[in-house]
Amino acid sequence: MAKKPPSLADRRERLPEVGGILHLEHFNCEVLDHDIVTTFFMAGLGFTRDPYRRTDHRNMGVNIGLQQFHLPRRGMETPPYYGEIGLVVPEFKAMKARLDRLKRDGKFKGTRYAWKMEGKTPVVTAPWGLKLRLQKAGTVPFLRPLGMNYVDVPVEPGLAAPIGGFFSRLMDAPVAMRSIGGERTAVVTMGPFQYARFRERKLKDYDLYRFHMAYYVSRYNRLRDAVAEQGCMDGKGLGQVFFFSEIFDPETGDTLLEMTQEARSVYHPDFMRPLVNRWPIVDEPFSDQAAVQAALADVGGVTGP
């Protein structure tokens, strides 16, 4: 007897398949100065510096829910990045009040900091040039009220589909071809409601310099062997983590995109390590925080992730 097909209600309960990439964990961006990073991320956006890892003068981890920014400091300014990072946050108003206060105090003078609205969505440029699109929790599918849900990577026209093929064939990642902002895009699933979006765009410069993104994969050994055979592994790949410098065609070996990737196995000690988060900054006794306190009162308080 044939099985009864799932009802419409059953189909509505089906969540998207995750595939072989289990968790997009961090985006790495070199910065010149940790003071401005602290001012922007912690005092402005209300995020949290990781108290356990990358706490010295050379590196910094910033927690956003279950994801992070890694911000090494090696004496060089951040090179241009023509993509963007999508963040889910609980609210905008108190965040904007804190950033406005810092701007009035001259903390962003001479930097690339900017806040602009695109429709109902704030797009914030960090003082070192990284573009962040803020999405209010509940308006996009995501598991928590705070986190990183996508990384946009600009690529040359014609490369989105082949790049998607790299992730689907070597990592069993679901890939969907879509148009985003009129740009042909390979949307690669990198965890529950997490994505890398490779967007075809005409640029003069496709150099992604020293940026990288890190994710955990279920077929770690298979991927490691393929990367080693291709000859693009950086170092020896010890400790259940390896870096590789290019995305390539699995059949021909042709390089599709030069962008460092960090792949980790589920045996890596940082896999799903609990991250300390505070949201929002509410206990600030000084009178010059009145605008921020008013904004917090207006949104009715915000619960943490």
Q: Which pLDDT tens digit goes with each residue over 11-53? A: 567 899 999 999 999 999 999 999 999 999 999 999 999 999 9
Nearest CA among 214, 226, 222 for reference residue 264: 214
Consecutive H or E run containing 241: strand 241-244
Asked if 65 contacts 147 with a C-beta cutoff of 8 angstroms, the reply is: yes
Average pLDDT over all residues of the chain? 90
CA distances in angstroms from 132 to 115, 129, 225, listed in the order given: 10, 9, 34
More confident residue, 237 or 259: 259
pLDDT class of 299 with cuts at 50, 70, 90? low
Q: Residue 285 above 80 pLDDT?
A: no
Q: Residue 99 above 80 pLDDT?
A: yes
**Secondary structure of 173-195 in the HEC alphabet?**
CCEEEEEECCEEEEEEECCCCCE
Domain ranges of the chain: 20-298
pLDDT class of 303 with cuts at 50, 70, 90? very low
Residue the block writes with tokens 């799932």: 6
More confident residue, 209 or 188: 188
pLDDT class of 235 with cuts at 50, 70, 90? confident
What's the fold here for domain 20-298? 2,3-Dihydroxybiphenyl 1,2-Dioxygenase; domain 1 (3.10.180)
Asked if 200 contacts 156 with a C-beta cutoff of 8 angstroms, the reply is: yes
Its pTM stands at 0.89
- What pLDDT digit, counting tens, does each position of 77-95 carry? 899 999 999 999 998 988 9
Distance, in Å, from the CA atom of 146 to the CA atom of 274, rounded to the nearest integer, reads 14
Q: Residue 282 above 50 pLDDT?
A: no
Percentage of the chain exceeding pLDDT 70: 87
pLDDT at 9: 58
Residue the block writes with tokens 């070192």: 128
More confident residue, 86 or 236: 86
Helices (H) and strands (E) in the chain, counts: 6, 18
CB atoms inside a 10 Å sphere around CB 302: 18
Distance, in Å, from the CA atom of 100 to the CA atom of 294, rounded to the nearest integer, reads 14
Average pLDDT over residues 107-119: 96
Q: Which residues contact 37 (CB under 8 A, 6 or more apart)?
A: 31, 60, 62, 71, 128
